[in-house]
Structure formats: C-alpha cells, structure tokens
Amino acid sequence: MAQRPKSANLKAGLEDERLTVASVARRLGIAPATLRTWDRRYGLGPSSHVEGEHRRYSAKDLARLTLMRKLIIQGYSPCDAAEVALKSKSNSFESLASREVAVEVDDCSDLIESLLKAARVYDRSFIEDVLRQQIEKRGIINTWNELIVPVLIAVGNEWAELGTGIEIEHLLTEIITRLMQSSNQTPVNPINPRPVLLACIGEEMHTLALYTLGAALAERNIQSQFLGARTPISAVGAMVKKSAPPAVFLWAQLAKNGKSEVVGDIPRVRPAPRIILGGPGWRKTSKKSLVKVDCLDSAITEITRAVGA
C-alpha cells in the first residue's frame, strides 16, 4: 500500500486538530472572554461539537478568527471583520490562515495606529506584512520617515511616560532590522566600484538607522559596507586605508559617542572620502572636512554626490 506523503499527513493532522478556547486565545493574543463574545455576537465559534465534550475550535475556525483579528487591527469594526471572515469562500484553512490583508488606506496616521495596535499585541506577521507592502509601495526612506520613525517615537514616549513597552520597542527593532537587511541586496552593477563605508562609532549600539540607510542606498544601486555597532575608529581607519571608500558615514545616537575629534584619527588617503556625521549624538562642527546631516534623506544626498551619481 502506498504511503501518504508527509505533507498530506501534516495537513491532515492540522485539519484534525481541535483547540480549546484558552489555546486559541493565546495564539491570537486576545482574552478568552473576547472569543466567547465573537461566538455569541457574530457566530465565529467552534464549527462542530461532540456531545459530552467541551466545544473545540478546528484549524479552519482558527484561520477565520486569525483573519478577523487582522482586519480589526487594520481598522475594520468587529462586525464588518466578522462578516468578511464568515463570507470567505475558501474551503482551505491554509489559504485562510496565510491570507494577506491588503492595506488599502494611504493615510499614514491610520497605518501608524494599525502598526501600534499590532505591536502592543505582538502581532509580528501583521507588522511585517504592512511594512513590506509599504516598502514596495513607498520605498525605504519614505517608509522610514512616514511610518517607522513615528511608530518608534510613539513607543518610546510610552516607555518614557509610563515605564511600559520596552519589549515592544525591541520587537519592532528586530522586525525592522530584518526587513532592512533583506532589502539590502548587493547591487549587481553598482554605480560605485568602491563601497561606501557605514559604521556606528565608539560604543554606539543603535544600528537601526544604518541598516535602513544601507537598504536605501542599495535601492539606488549604491553599494555599501556596514561595520556594525561599536566600531573602533581604528577599524574605520584600516578600512579607509585599504578600500578607499568614496564616503564614510559615522552614526552616533548618544552624545558620549559623538566626538568629532576622533575623526582626526582616520588616515588621509587620495582621493579623500567625504566624511559624513549622522545621528543626534554629534555636536555641530566647524571643520570643513566634515559634513553633519540631520536625517537619512540628507545622508543619501551627500553620499550620492560623493559617488558621483
């Protein structure tokens, strides 16, 4: 007798799985009482019941509830979200569970609120879906300026005022970092034969802006090398001496790391790279050999000039 493929066995196992209210609530990140309300008000409860046993949710029930929750986070009312979930024509729990909810609104305030709601319930997949869609639609820098920065500021303010949400900031940072890394594909035919050098200076641990900058440069066919967090100025100097980058971008989030005098330790080479300082940690400088920028847009402008584009 021919054996069933492993994929078929897995699918059958998932379809046969029956979940308790508590288990489904944990998976969705909502209270069990909310599930019971959705069942009572909208009919989104367990689809089958064995007499003498507690009612349990099937995989398809879970998929419909997952879809409903995505819609609510996006901004649908619970009533409208339930209607869409119930009317879904798919008979496959797999297609329901993996269905992407397209973000149709262009208003950034709505998207920011949706991302904040998702972040507060740790909905990683929704955040990734929305940001990936917006990067494709708006580009790296516009997504950074219009969505990511406002969301991070809101989360940071909540932590400063209430002392809560530090885990949300870490979750968002990890998600955004991974998205930017995946977007930063080395150009096949870059316009600059020598990569631009990016580094977090001193003891600087904040790397998110540089992952974003690297991805934005790749989007413009400019190749770069990122040396990561806590880069010693000696390491920057060694790279400059050996690779002669057209531009060096040094990031300092904190004032203790933004000491422009250390830039003097970078060896002089010809042609001389454009030294660009970014981040709130840098003080104003009168040195003509240094360019201080206040945002990633300006950083891209300066780097583009340096590579001759």
Domains of the chain by start residue, with CATH: 6-98 (1.10.1660.10), 108-183 (1.10.1240.10), 196-306 (3.40.50.280)
Whether residue 5 has pLDDT greater than 90: no
Whether 177 and 211 have beta carbons less than 8 Å apart is answered as yes
- pLDDT digit string, tens, across residues 198-210: 999 999 999 999 9
Query: Does residue 289 carry a pLDDT above 70?
Result: yes
30, pLDDT greater than 80: no
224-226 and 290-293 beta bridge pairing: unpaired
pLDDT-derived band at 93 (thresholds 50, 70, 90) equals very low
CB contact burial 198-229 (16+ within 10 A = b; e otherwise): bbbbbebebbbbbbbbbbbbbbbebbbebbeb
Mean per-residue pLDDT over the chain, rounded: 84
**How far from each other are the two terminal CA atoms of the chain, in whole angstroms?**
66
Give CA–CA dist 110/112, Å, rounded: 5
Buried b (16+ CB within 10 A) or exposed e, 102-118: ebeeeebeebbbbbbeb
Please report the pLDDT score of residue 163 as a whole number: 86
Of the candidates 284, 196, 200, the residue with the CA atom closest to the CA atom of residue 244: 196
Task: Kindly give the residue spans of alpha helices, DSSP state H, lying in the chain.
Answer: 6-16, 21-28, 32-42, 59-74, 78-87, 93-98, 108-120, 124-138, 140-143, 149-162, 166-183, 208-219, 233-243, 296-306
**Average pLDDT of the residues in 117-128:** 88
Give residue 21's pLDDT band: very low, low, confident or very high (50, 70, 90).
Answer: confident
pLDDT in tens, 123-169: 888 899 889 989 999 999 999 999 999 999 999 988 888 888 899 99
Neighbours of 233 (CB within 10 A): 17
Q: Which residues are within 8 A (CB) of 47 and not within 5 positions of it... i.e. 6 or more apart?
A: 57, 58, 60, 61
Q: Is the pLDDT of residue 15 over 50?
A: no
Res. 2 pLDDT band, cuts 50 70 90: very low
Distance, CA of 259 to CA of 268 (rounded, Å): 19
- How do residues 262-278 score in pLDDT, each as one tens digit? 888 898 888 999 999 99
Point out which residues pair with 290 in neighbouring strands.
Answer: 275
The pLDDT of 245-272, averaged and rounded, is: 91
**Max CA distance (Å), the chain:** 83
Structure tokens at 120: 């507060």
274, 288 Cβ separation under 8 angstroms = no
Would you call the peptide bond into 46 cis, given omega within 30 degrees of 0 as the criterion? Answer: no
Q: Which residue has the tokens 């040094």?
A: 250
pLDDT band at 7 (very low <50, low <70, confident <90, very high): very low
Q: Give CA–CA dist 48/35, Å, rounded.
A: 16
Q: What is the pLDDT of residue 223?
A: 97
pTM equals 0.71
Q: Which residue type is seen at 257? A: N
Distance of CA 85 to the CA centre of its chain: 27
